[in-house]
Amino acid sequence: MDLSQSLEIVTRTDVGMVRSHNEDSVFANPAQGLAILADGMGGYNAGEVASGMTTTLLGSELVKTFTRLAPHCADSNGRLHAHSALETEIAKTNSAVYQAAQSQPQYAGMGTTLVMAVFYDNSMTVAHIGDSRLYRLRGDEFQQVTRDHSLLQEQIDSGFITAEQARHSQNKNLVTRALGIDPTVEPEIGDYDTLPGDIYLLCSDGLNDMVEDEEIAMTLQMLSANLDLCALQLVQMANDNGGRDNVSVILVRVKRGYPASRRFGGWFARLLAWLK
């Protein structure tokens, strides 16, 4: 099912004002309802390799697997295909990045964060690893959907420090999960309903470290009519505030509902999947 009539997606990635490389990667496919953002880490250009491999592999493989069986259908084990496909493909991508890091000395230790969303049947499935985020603007309400896998977030959760203190912490850059650094990785996966008018923002920490949430929310609200400009403005704000890291954003606007057609697509796809 082609979702490009229902979803508007824009992507923008920028090296920032300080770094010499852009280690972020983005991928979007409005027809398939896919948005993927990765923020790589590792010496020399290894970070770029890790994030690039991740968005490219996940993007192409998920488009293939969702063409075969729609995300809302149940797979052969009776699980939601969106979930099983994400788990499988993220595990495969993790192995690929890990293998590359193991076999090539210049890539040793590389890894990447990941935040991605699959839109289908008036809802979305979000998967994330590390400190790249997904936010939602619904009406006037701006909310962070994902919770960082970072030392800082763990400290906040355990009541060790408050969110206010966290802003002054020196430990902003420590993630507790990353893709490609271990043989296996556990993504956090969640399902959310979407409504027409919602705007989703996927971003790397280069945005949310440099720009306050309120400013991000204001920008999304004011410039929602022009997503391209909105993405540009967000990147510009991060750079105006110092641009100390690479900045990447993906904006997704739900233009109208996109219920899955179950009557034929559903059982036909299941039959196809069963025949395979």
Residues that bind other proteins (CB under 8 A): 17-20, 23, 39, 41-43, 47, 108-109, 111, 113, 130-131, 151, 155, 160-161, 165, 168-178, 181, 205, 209, 215, 218-219, 222-223, 225-226, 229, 233, 236-237, 240, 242, 244-245
Under 8 Å between Cβ of 133 and 202: yes
Q: How far is the CB of 173 from other proteins (least distance, A)?
A: 5
Nearer of residues 11 and 29 to other proteins, judged by Cβ = 11
Nearer of residues 41 and 69 to other proteins, judged by Cβ = 41
Under 8 Å between Cβ of 3 and 119: yes
Q: How far is the CB of 188 from other proteins (least distance, A)?
A: 16
Q: How far is the CB of 145 from other proteins (least distance, A)?
A: 20
Number of neighbours of residue 260 by Cβ within 10 angstroms: 16
Q: How far is the CB of 224 from other proteins (least distance, A)?
A: 9
Nearer of residues 191 and 240 to other proteins, judged by Cβ = 240
Nearer of residues 24 and 75 to other proteins, judged by Cβ = 24
Q: How far is the CB of 225 from other proteins (least distance, A)?
A: 4
Burial class of residue 7 in the structure, from the number of CB atoms within 10 Å of its CB (0-12 exposed, 13-18 middle, 19+ buried): buried
Whole-number Å distance between alpha carbons of 195 and 198: 6
Nearest to 221, CA basis, from 208, 233, 235 = 233
Nearer of residues 17 and 96 to other proteins, judged by Cβ = 17
End-to-end distance of the chain based on CA atoms, in angstroms?
Answer: 20
Whole-number Å distance between alpha carbons of 233 and 248: 12
